[in-house]
Amino acid sequence: MKIGIIICGRYHNCAGGKCFRALQNREGAFSIYKKNENVEIVGYTTCGGCPGGNIEYVPEEMKKNGAEVIHFATGMVVGYPPCPYIDDFKNFIEERFKMSVVIGTHPIPEKYLGTHSNLGTWRSDVWQDRVALVMSNEENRLSYN
């Protein structure tokens, strides 16, 4: 399986350590892949910053490199505010490039869960669906703080 990762433009300096660790350990959204399944990252970049200029062409480049799935990094849902374009980006990529999009990479760090819980960010059913794959157990979330 070849995947591409798109991160929020606010985190353009992120080296991807949590994402790569989660992929190696099959944690967070990467738990959808079997431990023995070969998963290769063929692209890693930002959305381009609001309103996501890279979304129009980056998935095509990743697809040319063999990407079958695009993951939106967990930062797109834990940053504040969470990405207001996440559904638009997902719908566009799936329609235009005929690729699956998974929301999330590494488990949500505990410190972000606390903040967003207090703010009520993810109370709606829509947000519960968006964060489902990265809502890990407390021990795992603490290890990603």
Domain extent, residue 25, equals 2-143
Residue 88's pLDDT is: 97
How many domains, the chain? 1
- In this prediction the pTM is 0.95
Q: What is the percentage of the chain residues whose pLDDT exceeds 90?
A: 100
Residue owning tokens 């992120």? 14
Residue 14's pLDDT is: 93
Cis check for the bond before 51: say yes or no (omega within 30 of 0).
Answer: yes
pLDDT band at 34 (very low <50, low <70, confident <90, very high): very high
CATH number of the domain bearing residue 56? 3.40.50
pLDDT band at 6 (very low <50, low <70, confident <90, very high): very high
Average pLDDT of the chain?
A: 96
pLDDT band at 130 (very low <50, low <70, confident <90, very high): very high
